[in-house]
Amino acid sequence: MQSMSQNEVSKVCLQGCCPTLLFNSSPQSDNILKPRHSSSECRHSFAATTTSSIFPNTKFTNHESLPSLHESFSEFNKVYPQYSETEQVDKVRAKEYYHLSFSNHTSLDYIGIGLFSYYQRQQLQHLDASKTQIASSSSPPQSPSRYSDISFFSISYKTGNLKALLLHGGHESKFEAAMRRIIMKFLNISEKDYFMVFTANRTAAFKLVADSYPFQSSKKLLTVYDYESEAVEAMISYSEKRGAKAMSAEFSWPRLRMQSTKLRKMIESKRNKKKKNGLFVFPLHSRVTGAKYPYLWMSIAQENGWHVLIDACALGPKDMDSFGLSLFHPDFLICSFYKIFGENPSGFGCLFVKKSAISVLEASSIAGIVNLVPEKRLHQLSEDSSGNEVEIEQKSEASSLQEEELASLTSFSSRIQTRQFEGGEGEASELQIIEISADVEGTQRSNENRQDKNAQDSENGRFYIECRCLDQVDSLGLRVITNRARYLINWLVNSMLKLKHPNTEGTPLVKIYGPKIKFDRGAALAFNVCDWKGEKVEPVLVQKLADRNNISLSYGFLHHIWFADKYAEEKGRVLQSKEGKGQDVTGIKKKYRHNLGVTVVTAALSFLSNFEDVYKLWAFVAQFLDADFVEKERWRYTTTNQKAVEV
């Protein structure tokens, strides 16, 4: 078979050959996609085609010259034709998370996985309201419905000895047991190999490990983070108090690539490899820059006598499917979940401990372990309710719920159609909302499935919970979610780089840190906005102004940056303290230099992010091309009696 030309490879790549090779390889695809290195060529071609096809030979020096949302989306679809295959995500967003469109707010300020959907919460509130009305009437009280045993919960702290809890167990409510089963199944983690502990948050999980790990005998703590993490800093602080020697990987300026040679030297041991060196803390992705790190580092660490902790908090919703947990078997794994995307980022953390690693832990007491307590207003099923009572109540409630769902869907469809015809924002309104029609047959079928599941769980004595967001992620699958994020983040990076100040030098408006246009970059972006002199606009100010424009961003602190000699002069200009003040690094002692780094603005895409979200961010950043933008914003909010934006 003849080898493909560069243009042919480009066309095939954008139609999905690379995702197929990575996630769904088969003998047929191997035969079609020759030569042998077609995967590598495809990745390179993806980046090259993105650069050459999105606003080719164009630079934008005025925010008013940007193409409209409609025009940009049309060109986006031409460059990434396979994006249309992810339209199911738009349908899920429109039906289950319609608050994102109605509020006209873009959430790009946190990364992770949600549990429930907004639509699910609304339905439960309607159900709860109807139950309250029934309870207040003269009718005799009825048994609580198992269908309402889901959704919102609170956490209660308990003092815990982690090792004792892992060895002997503890009281676990039906609600907690159900949540544990759901999460472990979602993450493909076997209960035969791992124990799971609920923690207050991500930071609490890291503290638990730090307080229980035997740093007196295995002294080293080696972390791999290109940004400052509150959770990791807390772990380092606790560990050092217990005798640990903390070390960190370094990242080369300006592309922030991992210093592999240095990291290998820190990992490799010259002494007996059977004796544990310490704890190797490895994030699979950077949740700030979007950098992804080779999984091979876990294997190298294990071969050299390290216990391995995997930080999976930055993983995409289905990335655990491609992680290869059964191959690497880390000793500890930490992840976190929030409640509803765009509504409530609170939730809990999860600490997984490999059963064979429990014996190395030391007994210690520390706050951070929690119980999950379902909200009382959801009328939880009492412990002594019989299966027959539940089943009878289920049928009547399911019938009522079905009617409510159909009415809600019909009403929602009407509201959407009205908004589309009213317009108000021209072409943007057509892309902002996808029309949803009430699918009577589909809703009936969905309710029948829920009834069957409820009845089955009643017979088994189990507590039924519906984590609708996790179900949606499972239904969409890894390929759809990964491809969608890949197209959106690379379009955003490329478009940001097209913004130039209207001066002779054509100074870039945006400075991007870490990977730029890249096939396998993560869906997170670290950047700074610069003025026409190349001076950075403070990230906190950018964040505040974005919030005024209904865009939620965050900011971070990049650190452990290594500068080659040729960047020595730039080093003095770039590094600053955590407070954002530049410093002369020449006179600072080595042990304090970890406090220096680069403050950045951060944006993170979720699986629900759409093209309008990234376009809105791009259009907002482009406003800084106007040298008076900040002053105009301050004046505007002062004259409307709002709090002035502080510089």
What dihedral do alpha carbons 470, 191, 199, 278 form, nearest 10°? Answer: -120
Rounded to whole angstroms, the Cα distance separating 164 from 365 reads 10
Rounded to whole angstroms, the Cα distance separating 501 from 622 reads 10
Which class for 252: exposed (0-12), middle (13-18), buried (19 or more C-beta within 10 A)?
middle
Token pair 């080093």 is found at 571
Q: 514 vs 287, 291, 497, CA distance in Å?
A: 11, 6, 14
- The answer to whether residues 372 and 198 touch, using CB atoms and an 8 Å cutoff, is yes
In the chain, list all ranges with CATH 3.40.640.10: 153-374
Residue 365: strand pairing partners: 161
- The answer to whether residues 328 and 484 touch, using CB atoms and an 8 Å cutoff, is no
Name the token pair of 42: 């495809």
Axis crossing angle, helix 87-96 with helix 387-422, rounded to the nearest 10: 110
For strands 251-252 and 561-562, give the pairing.
parallel
Residue 644: its pLDDT value, please? 52
Residue 465: its pLDDT value, please? 84
For strands 597-604 and 554-559, give the pairing.
antiparallel
Q: 201-216: buried (b, 16+ CB within 10 Å) or exposed (e) per residue? A: bbbbbbbbbbbbbbbe
Which class for 326: exposed (0-12), middle (13-18), buried (19 or more C-beta within 10 A)?
exposed
Rounded to whole angstroms, the Cα distance separating 118 from 96 reads 6
Residue 340: strand pairing partners: 344
Phi, psi dihedral angles at 532 (to 5 degrees) = -70, -15
Mapped onto helix, strand or coil, the DSSP state of residue 306 is strand
The class that CATH gives domain 153-374 is alpha beta
Query: Which segments within 326-416 are labelled E, that is strand?
Result: 332-340, 344-354, 365-366, 370-374
Amino acid at site 324: G
Token pair 């947990």 is found at 325
Rounded to whole angstroms, the Cα distance separating 335 from 509 reads 35
Low-confidence residues of the chain: pLDDT under 50? 1-37, 138-151, 377-451, 454-455, 457-459, 647
Q: Look at the alpha carbons of 13, 16, 21, 23 in this order and tell me if their dihedral is positive or negative.
A: positive
Rounded to whole angstroms, the Cα distance separating 78 from 54 reads 9
Residue 485: strand pairing partners: none
Cα angle value 82/84/88 (rounded, 5°): 125
Token pair 């030569």 is found at 35
Query: Computed over its alpha carbons, how large is the radius of gyration of the chain?
Result: 26
Name the token pair of 19: 């995702």
Axis crossing angle, helix 87-96 with helix 118-136, rounded to the nearest 10: 30
For residue 319, which of 601, 524, 43 has the smallest C-alpha distance? 524
DSSP annotation string for 530-588: B-TTSPBPPHHHHHHHHHHTTEE-EEEEEE-EE--GGGHHHHHHH-B-TTS-B--GGGS
What does pTM read for this prediction?
A: 0.80
Q: Look at the alpha carbons of 412, 414, 415, 419 in this order and tell me if their dihedral is positive or negative.
A: positive
Residue 325: its pLDDT value, please? 80
Name the token pair of 160: 């815990």
For residue 298, which of 282, 314, 277, 319 has the smallest C-alpha distance? 282
Look at the chain and count its residues: 647
| Cβ count within 10 A of residue 548 | 14
* Helix, strand, coil percentages for the chain (3-state, nearest 5): 50, 15, 35
Mapped onto helix, strand or coil, the DSSP state of residue 199 is strand
For residue 511, which of 521, 524, 522, 525 has the smallest C-alpha distance? 525
Residue 364: its pLDDT value, please? 85
Phi, psi dihedral angles at 255 (to 5 degrees) = -90, -5
C-alpha distance across the termini of the chain, in Å: 62
For residue 307, which of 226, 271, 361 has the smallest C-alpha distance? 361
Phi, psi dihedral angles at 408 (to 5 degrees) = -65, -45
Amino acid at site 437: S
Residue 33: its pLDDT value, please? 35
Rounded to whole angstroms, the Cα distance separating 612 from 197 reads 38
Rounded to whole angstroms, the Cα distance separating 431 from 419 reads 12
DSSP annotation string for 369-389: BEEEEE-GGG-PPPTT--HHH
Rounded to whole angstroms, the Cα distance separating 363 from 353 reads 15
Token pair 């950043």 is found at 621
Mapped onto helix, strand or coil, the DSSP state of residue 436 is coil
In the chain, list all ranges with CATH 3.90.1150.10: 45-113+477-640
Amino acid at site 224: V
Cα angle value 524/330/470 (rounded, 5°): 50
Rounded to whole angstroms, the Cα distance separating 330 from 499 reads 43
The class that CATH gives domain 45-113+477-640 is alpha beta
Rounded to whole angstroms, the Cα distance separating 337 from 621 reads 30
- The answer to whether residues 210 and 235 touch, using CB atoms and an 8 Å cutoff, is yes
Residue 581: its pLDDT value, please? 55
Q: Give the max Cα distance, the chain.
A: 83
Residue 161: its pLDDT value, please? 87
Name the token pair of 180: 């544990």
- Helices (H), ranges, 268-386: 296-303, 325-328
Residue 70: its pLDDT value, please? 98
